[in-house]
Chain A
Amino acid sequence: MSEEQKSTKTRRIVPIGPYHPLQEEPEFFKLIVEGETVVDMEINIGYNHRGHEFISPELTYDQIPFLVERICGICSNSHPLACVLAIEDCAGIEPPPRANYIRSIIHELERIHSHLLWVGLGGHFIGYNTVWMWAWKYREHVLQVFEMITGNRNHYAANKPGGVRRDISKEQVPQVLAALDLAEEKTKLLTNAVLDDPVILGRLANVGILTKADAIAYSTVGPTSRGSGVPWDVRKDDPHAAYAEVPWDRVVFEEGDVLAKAKVRLLETFESIKIVRGCLENLPDGPIEARIEEIPPGEGIGHTEAPRGEVFHYIRSDGSNRPLRHKVRAPSFMNIASNVVAVRGGSIADAALTLAAVDPCYCCTERMAAFEDGRLKYTWNDLLKLSWQKTERLREKLK
């Protein structure tokens, strides 16, 4: 037994996952707690590892956007966009202006639906199912727009190297604008309701604080870093698509707690609505794709701001129609690692919120193992046996 363990109170381990109610994806968090306080955490990932970087070199450049689209169903425009930006960077192609505008429109619509989704799930995690139902109801308007302009609710298949696959017709523009008006009105209602609620404020403020120094050391991206006062936003810093041509502002908050992240997300939704409107009003005429003769040997980097942060793609080409190496970095790869510092010192119930994918429901002893003095005390089977014995005793009593 180490000195550290002797000197402190009993440390216990609370495993969360890999399958846990309300977690959409399998991830395994091992919270090391002292009483109610979380002192450390270990993260175990890999339950979703499918080997995209291995499959990608087998496919041609035209096929790869379809593959990377399936990395994540919520950011299913960000990955193809970053990927085609990398291919275009390698080949030195400029997509035509209309394609750039359409890319921005679809990308921002995706941000609206993703942020609303997060707000809904966040409400669900603190036990406010009304927020969940509201946010997801209003998100439906955006999904309907997607179905209209791209043909699918989730995987849009919008990007291809050199441009976009589908045009937005003149008749669709007023319909999209109408849906945006509706979404804006409802999101305003939701934002005011969420940010005015004293219970939600009490639950989110000063919880899971990620300091600015930690945000920089862990290289966090997206709303996670912008909630900690780090203003990185690829759309402004390295403008691509039509982001330099329409007016919008970045949203930055200094506090670093869960509330700041929620505020960033809610207010960014309005910026996204602004961008989509600006793009639709100034949509230039012309072709929607540039012709690509060949991809020369070389390398290219494409990055874009997904709803969760910077998506990074690197392509190395040897001059053939397949890449030699394709590196993908999703924003959560950086952000999840920073949970380790954000969660430390908080209580278990807040840890759940900080991880934002976990419900503070510990009656489900699902995969629980209790540790005492660093030794395994109960395994899951022991707990099960104890539970059986208790049932037996009760039965005896009731006889």
Chain B
Amino acid sequence: MREAEAGLRELIPEADVFEHNKRRLYIRIPREKITQAAKFLHQERGMRLSICTGIDTREGFEVLYHFSEDKTGTMYTLKVLAPKDDPKIESLASWFPSCDWIEREMSELLGIDFPGHPNMRPLLTSDTDWDKGKYPLRRDHERRAEEHED
């Protein structure tokens, strides 16, 4: 077993590890543990945050934190689920500047709230007539009709 994986299992016993292949690991953890897990991967194991992905699924909002361990070329993906009626995940941006922009982007395109973010302003849609209640990456966002206008 990989060192980082073993350490993570020890730290968070309820972690559910799925090995897609040798270099791609998906680890589901409870959302309260995200700060602990991210601190372990970044500060202790020296991993780089590639990016976060927010997905609107049937079960709720899933946020994926893709960490890359460049020594071994392995991608560790932490999966966190936030229920639809309470879309809140603790912000990592206060101690991890890589998360700053992507958390802002997820909050404006998906409507996930990141309490504790130092600067939660819209990133891409500021100073526009953007409808604040509309989140384009949600499943219920309307799509334009296929045919051309006019």
Contact = CB atoms under 8 A, between A and B. Distances in A.
B96 A301 contact: no
B100 A337 contact: yes
B121 to A, nearest CB: 9
Contacts of A299: 20, 26
Contacts of B96: 217
Nearest to A44: B126
A55 B38 CA distance: 31
Contact of B126 (A46, A221, A301, A314): A46
Contact of A314 (B53, B70, B125, B127): B53
A314 B64 contact: yes
Interface in B36-85: 46, 48-51, 53, 55, 64, 66, 68, 70-75, 77
Contacts, number: 86
Contacts of A324: 55
Contact of A337 (B48, B70, B101, B126): B101
A231 B48 CA distance: 12
B53 A325 contact: yes
Nearest to A328: B51
B95 to A, nearest CB: 9
Interface in B124-142: 124-127, 136-137, 141
Shortest Cβ-Cβ A-B pairs, 8 listed: A238-B73, A46-B124, A219-B98, A329-B51, A327-B53, A237-B73, A49-B124, A237-B70
Interface of A: 44-46, 49, 51, 53-54, 58, 89, 92, 216-219, 221, 231-232, 234, 237-239, 298-301, 303, 310, 312, 314, 316, 324-325, 327, 329, 333-334, 337
Interface of B: 20-21, 23-24, 26, 46, 48-51, 53, 55, 64, 66, 68, 70-75, 77, 96-98, 100-102, 109, 123-127, 136-137, 141, 143
Given A237-B70, A314-B53, 12 more contacts: A44-B127, A46-B125, A54-B136, A238-B75, A300-B20, A301-B77, A303-B68, A310-B68, A314-B64, A314-B66, A329-B50, A333-B102
